[in-house]
Structure 1
Amino acid sequence: MRAFDDATRRNIAEACAAFARLPEMAEPSALKRAAVVLALTESSDRDDTAFLLTKRASSLRSHRGQWALPGGRCDAGETPVEAALRELDEELALKLSAADVLGTLDDYPTRSGYLITPVVVWAADSAAIRPNPDEVASVHRIALDTIERDEAFDFTAIPESARRVIRFHHQMSLIHAPTAALIYQFREVLAGRHTRVTDLEQPVFAWK
């Protein structure tokens, strides 16, 4: 159990600082830059620290109705951290600053042409969460002890790729990469393991 308190914030910030990210690409990439947020807040029962997971609105043009971390494409001249904070405000009305950022994880290249930077932030004022109905159908608090269980993730094969597909079991749903891969790496960082996830595959439906 990880209480939502200053000690947990310090511990997670230290784990993120100890994590050695993969180096940035030396050459310009054709992939479009994007960022997502692992926003840490109180769990529903207030006994644990949780991260926020959303269900995308059914009216969106792409990946409608899917589970996702808050985030989106970087605007011109915007850093991934700036994009992550902006998207968190636009989607959930959480206004955070660079002082709330605890760290970043490895960039994850998607089959659909994006390079996603996961940004870990401490969202102390969770009462301020107001989902934007144009983008978010619902928002859920996933307690950290949920993702620390061995049965939370599994790996499977598909005929279209030699890479393993990762899946995160949440309630009665299966959540796939990239979201599952990023959550899995965060779980590993919390445990002090420098586990890479760029080789973990997405299901074919997410390739477009």
Structure 2
Amino acid sequence: MPAGQLHRRISEALASFPRRAADPDGRKPAAVLIAIAESAGEHGIWLTERAPSLRAHAGQLALPGGKLDPGEDPQTAALRELHEELGILLPHSAILGLLDDYPTRSGYVMTPVVAWVGETPPLSPNPAEVAEVHWIPLTDLDVDPQFVPVPGSDRPAIQLPLLGGHLHAPTAAILHQFREVALRHRPTRVAHMEQPRFAWE
């Protein structure tokens, strides 16, 4: 799909989606960024593999993001984190919209922000935060989610078959909603979808 048409479709889908905010309920606000870029005529997003030296969730796959600094909104935090993690500086005008908040087992309320990058700029991954960067074409998100039981919960966890393995929630839940809402124009909720046991601990 041409870039202009894709940009318009995603913008319209997010604008018409009745996004749900979550009550923090003691959790810390955080934001993640789904940054849509184009490389060799193909649109996709980046997932980062978290550096092994990080205190929390080292080695896990994640969208660029982190907790909000004092006075920040999710949009500002998501753009800041993209710059800090991958060296990409985007203006606020690049933001296309937001998806539902996702409360995590690790004590955060994550707000997914969707932004348009355009042609892929040079990446400068921060080695203190990022061990590896993975390019995920949008077509690779067109997979059937899997739902598996989680000990200690009456809710199944969502998994997406990606990168030769399985991507887990919260990232899997957020990307599933992005596909359904932004790419397929199908209102879909994911906040009820469980995370794997290791995300609890």
TM-score normalised over the length of structure 2: 0.95
- Could you list the per-position Cα deviations for residues 47-82 of structure 1 after superposition, in whole angstroms to 9, with x for gaps in the alignment? 321011111111111100100000000001110111
What is the match of residue 200 of structure 2?
207
Counterpart of 1:178 in structure 2: which amino acid?
P
What is the match of residue 66 of structure 1?
60
- Could you list the per-position Cα deviations for residues 156-193 of structure 1 after superposition, in whole angstroms to 9, with x for gaps in the alignment? 11231110100011122211100000000001102111
Counterpart of 1:111 in structure 2: which amino acid?
R
**Alpha-carbon offset, residue 128 of structure 1:** 2.6
SS of 1:63's equivalent in the other structure is: coil
> Are residue 113 (structure 1) and residue 107 (structure 2) matched?
yes
Specify whether residues 23 and 131 from structure 1 end up closer, same or farther in structure 2 by C-alpha distance, changes over 3 A only. Answer: closer
Query: 2-side partners of 1:61 and 1:15: how far apart?
Result: 37
Contact preservation (8 Å) 2:38, 2:119: no
SS of 1:112's equivalent in the other structure is: coil
Query: 2-side partners of 1:158 and 1:81: how far apart?
Result: 32
Query: 1-side partners of 2:167 and 2:130: how far apart?
Result: 16
> Are residue 180 (structure 1) and residue 172 (structure 2) matched?
yes
What is the match of residue 154 of structure 1?
146
**Alpha-carbon offset, residue 24 of structure 1:** 5.1
How many aligned residue pairs are there? 200
Counterpart of 2:26 in structure 1: which amino acid?
A
**Alpha-carbon offset, residue 23 of structure 1:** 4.2
Contact preservation (8 Å) 2:22, 2:109: no
SS of 2:26's equivalent in the other structure is: coil
- Could you list the per-position Cα deviations for residues 76-126 of structure 1 after superposition, in whole angstroms to 9, with x for gaps in the alignment? 111011100100000001101110000000000001110000000011242
What is the match of residue 185 of structure 2?
192
Say which of 8, 15, 20 aligns to 1:22: 20
Say which of 30, 34, 52 aligns to 1:34: 30
TM-score normalised over the length of structure 1: 0.92
Say which of 162, 165, 174 aligns to 2:157: 165
SS of 1:128's equivalent in the other structure is: coil
Counterpart of 1:29 in structure 2: which amino acid?
D
Q: Which runs of 5+ in 1 are unaligned?
A: none
SS of 1:34's equivalent in the other structure is: strand
Counterpart of 1:175 in structure 2: which amino acid?
L
Query: 2-side partners of 1:180 and 1:40: how far apart?
Result: 16
